Amino acid sequence: MPAASSRARRRGPQTIDLALQGGGSHGAFTWGVLDRLLEEPWLHFDGVSGTSAGALNAAVLATGLSEGGASGRRRAQAALRAFWDDVAASGSCFGSAQGGLLGLPGLPALSGLPGLAGMSGMSAPSWLPELSRLAGWNPAGLWLAEFTRLFSPYQFNPLDINPLREIVRRHVDIDAIRRGALAVFVNATAVRSGRPRIFHRADLSHEALLASACLPQLFRAVELVPAEGGAQAAPEPYWDGGYSGNPALWPLIYETAALDLVLVKIDPLARPGTPDTPLEIHDRVNEITFNAGLASEMRAIAFVQKLHAEGRIDTGHYKNLRLHMVADEAAMAALPPSSKLDTGRAFLQRLHALGRRTAEAWLAGDAKQLGRRSTLDVRHIFLGETPPAAAAAVAGPQATRPGPRAKARQPGKPAQAAKQVAPARAARAASAPKEAAAPAARRASAPRRRA
């Protein structure tokens, strides 16, 4: 057992929530992270929220953990591996295929194009990927962008063929998830209203998972009965949950007791340089869009954390989260966005290995602070503020000397929140409605068991 694991286990069990981002085949990175975390018996999962590929990882994880105990952890590891092996075998579930787009006959294949060559063992001259990189030319991405600009899935896929559908049915047991202790939250975006919808236990289904992973350029909208409607209500179309929350954090705030929330992040926040080709601009717009909801929720959480630190909030009613992040921004940013369509086995296995290494580093470092303090600097990473230490070094000692008002304000009681209220309520109370990440809600009264 690694030294980090034995040290953490001596501190006793730690309960965390997991927030899993989506990103097509890049979700194999999250598979690697989960695979490593499942080897730590002291680490317990209270809830998991996921979007798109993150939702699929969450559902497969919960299926394996449904029986609990050490055997449940092993089943969860095996279930995740079987799911991603199936994804690799299908070759088309995230939109590309060695035999054609979505596996549909008659449509051109992406395989062999230099923008994807070298990532998954596809055949192409060895010099083409490097030429593509230097020239900023990605034929795979250009082809797909142009094709989906001219044709919609209602035209090129009138039978609504979705290779992911059968994979999800084979690897996700909805009844087992409902029986299990792990609370699963899946986000999808309502097409007509643009609002997020969280699927949880009673309304979770295979189709809800497909809705969470439904990129509208590639798949027809998934129609489901709206949450507020009865069985006779007209179905509501849903698209990928990344448009409204990638992932959604607020269900974990409302519905679980854990105070440590671990974000597994695969979409890079920042990229150097300015995009100057149509494809680069398109890809960067998508990244910014899919990170916007998460950044807004982080802003609201940071505001509540600030009120806690200043003793200006009722610590018995407002949840004081401790935030952590498992990510390798540099490695994921180095991958072209078109690689999110690549389901080649070798590529998925490399992402899995990267996820395991990243989780190992997190366990050896930031995981030691679970139950104690946040290790994610939200204001610096998500809000772009200068870290206090760096600001003090630039401003000098006079600028950091506290004034009379700052001295008089003392921190409040340690936050041991039993009840949970959305950070957005505190944001509205301070007349900052734009910083609210989600509508206010009370936490569920039913206690959660540990996974």
**Binning pLDDT at 50, 70 and 90, where does residue 123 land?**
very low
- Range 391-406 average pLDDT: 41
- Give residue 145's pLDDT: 66
pTM for the whole structure: 0.78
- Range 251-264 average pLDDT: 96
- Which is more confident, 298 or 437? 298
Task: Report CA dihedral (322, 327, 329, 331) to the nearest 10 degrees.
Answer: 170
CA–CA distance, 57 with 200 (Å, rounded to integer): 15
- Give residue 209's pLDDT: 98
Q: How much is the mean pLDDT over the chain?
A: 78
- On the question of pLDDT at 136 being above 50, the answer is no
- Give residue 451's pLDDT: 41
**Binning pLDDT at 50, 70 and 90, where does residue 338 land?**
confident
Pick from 30, 42, 27: nearest CA to 73: 42
- Give residue 158's pLDDT: 86
194's CB contacts (< 8 A; 6+ apart) are 243, 244
Task: Of 281-285, 388-392, 433-437, give the range with the top mean pLDDT.
Answer: 281-285
Model confidence over 347-375: pLDDT tens digits?
999 999 999 999 999 999 999 999 999 99
- Give residue 404's pLDDT: 40
- Give residue 280's pLDDT: 82
- Give residue 446's pLDDT: 40
Percent of the chain with pLDDT over 90: 51
- Give residue 167's pLDDT: 96
Give the single-character DSSP code of 24.
G
- On the question of pLDDT at 410 being above 50, the answer is no
Task: Report CA dihedral (283, 289, 291, 292) to the nearest 10 degrees.
Answer: 150
- Give residue 93's pLDDT: 73
CA–CA distance, 367 with 363 (Å, rounded to integer): 5
- On the question of pLDDT at 399 being above 60, the answer is no
**Binning pLDDT at 50, 70 and 90, where does residue 242 land?**
very high
The tokens of 388 are what? 């206090």
Model confidence over 176-202: pLDDT tens digits?
999 999 999 999 999 999 999 999 988
Task: Name residue, tokens 């409605």.
Answer: 433
CA–CA distance, 15 with 3 (Å, rounded to integer): 20
- On the question of pLDDT at 401 being above 60, the answer is no
Model confidence over 87-121: pLDDT tens digits?
999 877 776 534 345 444 444 444 444 344 333 33
The tokens of 432 are what? 């900052």
Can you say whether residue 68 is alpha, beta or left, with left for phi > 0 and alpha for psi between -120 and 50 degrees?
Answer: left
- Give residue 380's pLDDT: 92
CA–CA distance, 375 with 366 (Å, rounded to integer): 6
- Give residue 230's pLDDT: 66
Pick from 328, 254, 323: nearest CA to 294: 323
